[in-house]
Amino acid sequence: MSYTNIKKVDIPSLFLSFLKLILFLYPLILSPLFAEEIILDRNSWMYLGKGWILTSATDPSLPAAKMDLPGNWTAAGYPIDHSVILKKEIIFRSCPEKILWIRTKEEVAAHQIFINDVPVLHSRTPGNSINESKPELLPALGYFHCEENKNLTIVWKASNFHHRRSGITGAPVIGAMNVMHDYIQYQQGRDYFFAGASLIMAFYHLGLYASRRKEFRFLLFHFLSLAIFLRIITT
């Protein structure tokens, strides 16, 4: 019996192809375990209205508008070089804990968050110019006291002079300590997995290019994978 027509299975290539497929389908197959809502434990709260009310912090002549997060205020007709105020009201039917935590992962907008006029979180201080507005570029964490059956007014002051479309990259999240811990652990685990997969593909395709110098597609994919890796570990 002849085995000349049986092709050998290239296990490393199959593995890398699988990683490519996972990375390509990531937005579809690995949706967050928690919905991108402002409250992580959705059994203990209710919204008062949808979206955020957007107003200008510097120009009172601009009308109020509604804005969903993530989003940019240029879509609502606001100039890019503006500081804004986002406002939302919520009410807790019951409090899972007396102290709740609030977290933002905002890389481009300097911001402060107030709950019932009490400052609970800040990432530097928003300003009215590029010299005054300095984003922290790191997640920020704060806490506040939960009160049942009482309206909580969340005011988010933000300024973004460092992105071509301005705006905010995500909504803040609120939850009890254990829920917030699980949320952060999930996000970090997801990021570590894709960072490792991207780095493996980067080195693999660099090795392919080293052995096949005429195949520039391997070099391009190396740089693409390396860029994805650097983007994940720096944000």
> For residues 86 and 105, is the Cβ–Cβ distance under 8 A?
no
72 & 144 share domain: yes
Helix (H) / strand (E) containing 28 = helix 26-29
The domain total for the chain is 2
The rounded distance, in Å, linking the Cα atoms of 161 and 147 is 36
> pTM here?
0.70
Q: Is the dihedral of CA 214, 216, 222, 227 positive or negative?
A: positive
Q: Note whether 114 and 152 are same-domain residues.
A: yes
The pLDDT value recorded for residue 160 is 81
Strand-pairing partners, residue 115, are 118, 154
Write out the residue range of the structural domain in which residue 75 sits. 45-175
Give yes or no: residues 196 and 113 share one domain: no
pLDDT confidence of residue 36: 42
Pair 64, 140 in one domain: yes
Q: Can you state the angle between helices 11-24 and 177-211, rounded to 10 degrees?
A: 130
What 3-state DSSP class applies to 19?
helix
What is the distance between the alpha carbons of residues 147 and 151, in angstroms, rounded to a whole number?
9
Residues 86 and 140 reside in one and the same domain: yes
Residues constituting the chain? 235
Give the pair of three-digit tokens for residue 4.
């000349």
Considering the domain architecture, whether residues 18 and 77 belong to the same structural domain is answered as no
pLDDT number for residue 114: 92
> Is 180 part of any domain?
no
pLDDT tens-place values along the chain, 235 residues long = 444 444 454 556 656 666 666 665 554 444 433 334 566 665 555 555 567 888 888 777 888 888 877 777 777 677 766 788 888 888 887 777 888 888 887 667 788 899 998 999 887 778 777 777 877 777 888 999 888 888 888 898 888 877 766 777 777 888 888 888 888 888 888 888 888 888 988 888 888 888 888 888 888 888 888 888 888 887 6
User: In what side-by-side order are the strands of the sheet with 118-123?
Assistant: 65-67, 45-56, 83-92, 151-159, 110-115, 118-123
CA 198, 227, 196: angle at the middle one, nearest 5?
Answer: 20
Let me know if residue 132 belongs to a domain. Answer: yes
Verify that 55 and 134 share a domain, yes or no. Answer: yes
SS3 222: helix
CATH number at residue 137: 2.60.120.260
Q: In the chain, how many H helices and how many E strands?
A: 4, 9
Residue with token string 């650097």: 230
Last residue of a domain, one of 175, 198, 213: 175
In a domain, 15, yes or no: yes
pLDDT of res. 92: 80
The answer to whether residues 53 and 151 belong to one domain is yes
Residue where a domain stops, chosen among 175, 201, 223? 175
| Count of CA atoms in the C-beta half-sphere (13 A) of 158 | 30
> Same structural domain for residues 65 and 93?
yes
